[in-house]
Amino acid sequence: MTNWKKYILAAVIVAAAVFAFNRNLYRSVPSDFRDAPRDTFAVDSLKNSTPPGGAGETSIPEAPNAPQAYAGENDSPVVPPNNASEEDGISPKWYGADSNRARMKFTTYVLSNNYSGESIEEILTEKITSQIVDLQLKHMFGAFKTQPDFKNNPGIPSGTYKVKLLGAERVSGTPYIKIRYSYDDLVVFSKNLFRGGNQSLSFVLPKDPLRIYKKGHISGTNRNHCTDKHHNHHSDFWYFWDPYQEGCPITDTDLVTVQAELQPISSTLNTYPEYRQLRDGNLMQVTFLIGVNENFNYNDAGTNNFRDAFVSLQKAGFKAILDKPRHKMLSLRNAKYTTHLNIYLVKSDTVEFAQLAVNGLENSDIFLYNGHSGLGSYLDPKKLAEAVGKETLSLPTRKYQILYFNGCSTYAYYNVPFFELKRTPDDPNGTKKLDIITTGIASMFLTGAEVDVSFLTSIATDQRPSWQTIINRIHKAEGDYSALTHVNGDEDNPTTP
């Protein structure tokens, strides 16, 4: 071989090695850390909107979920639907291989100077007060990932916590009002956090959540030094902020330390999906949506998952009956029934995605989504309905379904809202005809196909394993990239297949 051919061959080998390394490195980044979508599903433009304002922005970003339940100073606490606790008479048990559910309570305060002349009584009843409290609490998403006690023991709050406003007072010598409140929630944390009988935790939140973003800027620079360097916008600061990272100018005077009580909740044991109800006659319908990471390019992380899942499912026995670039259809026949599986590759912030999601959620026996969660926006039931021109999303209340939301932090976004859509007078919690798998923290594109196939081959091939076995298999498929995946709603399921 001549020297110039050797040089070309060596260059090709090096280029291929670099490409493979970068591809896998990129795929191993948590999905929501790659694009940090905003809180708004922009139906008209089909793009994520960017709220106006900059470092000094003081408007309150829209929360990704519905407003929380609030009670005034003299009212009894308001319990939001399905935010169950054992003392409420509803079991909040579920199963996670490496995660634990717990009831978390604390009392703290928030500061605000967004009032002009209102009395204390008026402040406690104003909508802006609850919005400011909600904004402060949203910063728990970042706190439970980045603060020292949680880097190896991450967790997440739910999307339906209970808050009771306890009182308000003016802070002498300042324009601020100090608003005190209590918090009650069912949270998810790594099981490691509970070793040694841990019954409490400590973390910090911004005292003034409207102005904490500006505090992260250093004079003469144009970026925030207290958040992810790639996502410097105020609208997602709550998700990425880290007041302890090197170079962050936020100080202790900007923060309030929260001491929270934890009551770990025991897990379910030996529960099974409602296999006998998980199909219409002899046909099981499965909708599987895979969201691209950025685009439809061949080496996009989502596109890789789409391709890999299709190949792996065929190796598991599924037969391909449709093979289009962005739509695959597979079938698997056993002695009792046939499984039809439709896989779509889509961009998750489009009307096409909303149409496919609504159709799958309303009609399929099993619905699986793998992709960006959009910080709660992409599969929000109200936003999906709006995107397709419907008044509401309607899940079939007489049909048993399984939903798996394999995106980042889906426990906080997509758990309770979908159980609410299944409620009936005979099933006030919506759990009898629905089980939901969600994640506690970021999920990875790198393991997406393996995780999804592990789930589908367990649930849709008449193996009939328990929920505990299914979740353990998913956890094994996640490898070193655990998303604290768990099943919700199985507390009233059968104990035999």
Encode pLDDT of 418-467 as tens digits: 999 999 999 999 999 999 999 999 999 989 999 999 999 999 999 999 99
Q: Compare 349 and 9 and report the one with higher pLDDT.
A: 349
Predicted local distance difference test score (pLDDT) of residue 61: 43
How far apart (Å, rounded) are the C-alpha atoms in residues 35 and 33?
6
Range of weakest confidence among 97-101, 114-118, 300-304: 114-118
- Reply yes or no on whether the pLDDT at 71 is more than 60: no
| 211-243 pLDDT per residue, tens | 999 999 998 888 999 999 888 888 899 999 999
Global pTM reads 0.83
| 152-178 pLDDT per residue, tens | 999 999 988 999 999 999 999 999 999
Mean pLDDT for 367-376 is 95
How far apart (Å, rounded) are the C-alpha atoms in residues 42 and 372?
16
How far apart (Å, rounded) are the C-alpha atoms in residues 292 and 370?
9
Q: Compare 30 and 355 and report the one with higher pLDDT.
A: 355
Where residue 83 falls among pLDDT bands split at 50, 70, 90?
Answer: very low
Residues β-bridged to residue 204:
257
- State the pairing for strand pair 162-170/69-71: parallel
- Cβ neighbours of 335 (radius 10 Å): 5
Which residues lie closer than 8 Å to 4 by C-beta, 6 or more apart?
A: none
How far apart (Å, rounded) are the C-alpha atoms in residues 423 and 396?
10
- Reply yes or no on whether the pLDDT at 126 is more than 60: yes
Predicted local distance difference test score (pLDDT) of residue 116: 76
C-beta separation of 195 from 249 below 8 A: no
- Reply yes or no on whether the pLDDT at 27 is more than 60: no
Predicted local distance difference test score (pLDDT) of residue 36: 36
Mean pLDDT for 332-338 is 93
How far apart (Å, rounded) are the C-alpha atoms in residues 134 and 209?
9
Mean pLDDT for 289-295 is 95
CA atoms 128, 131, 132, 133: torsion sign: positive
pLDDT above 70 coverage of the chain, percent: 81
Q: Closest by alpha carbon to 480, among 434, 447, 457, 456?
A: 447
Predicted local distance difference test score (pLDDT) of residue 199: 83
How far apart (Å, rounded) are the C-alpha atoms in residues 259 and 203?
7
SS (H, E, C) the chain: CCHHHHHHHHHHHHHHHHHHHHHHHHHCCECHHHHCCCCCECCCCCCECCCCCCCCCCCCCCCCCCCCEEECCCCCCCCCCCCCCHHHCCCCCCEECCEEEEEEEEEEEEEECCCCCCCHHHHHHCHHHHHHHHHHHHCHHHHHHHCHHHCCCCEECCCCCEEEEEEEEECCCCCCEEEEEEEEEEEEEEHHHHCCCCCEEEEEEECCCCCHHHHCECCCCCCECCCCCCCCCHHHHHHHCCCCCCCCCCCHHHEEEEEEEEEECCCCCCCCCCHHHCCECCEEEEEEEEECCCCCCCCCHHHHHHHHHHHHHHHCCCEEEEECCCEEEEEEECCCCEEEEEEEEECCCCHHHHHHHHHHHHHCCEEEEECCCHHHCCCCHHHHHHHCCCCCCCCCCCCCEEEEEECCCHHHHHCHHHHHCCCECCECCCCCCEEEEECCCCCECCCHHHHHHHHHHHHCCCCCCCHHHHHHHHHHHHCCCCCCCEEECHHHCCCCC
How far apart (Å, rounded) are the C-alpha atoms in residues 195 and 333?
45
Where residue 130 falls among pLDDT bands split at 50, 70, 90?
Answer: very high
Predicted local distance difference test score (pLDDT) of residue 118: 81
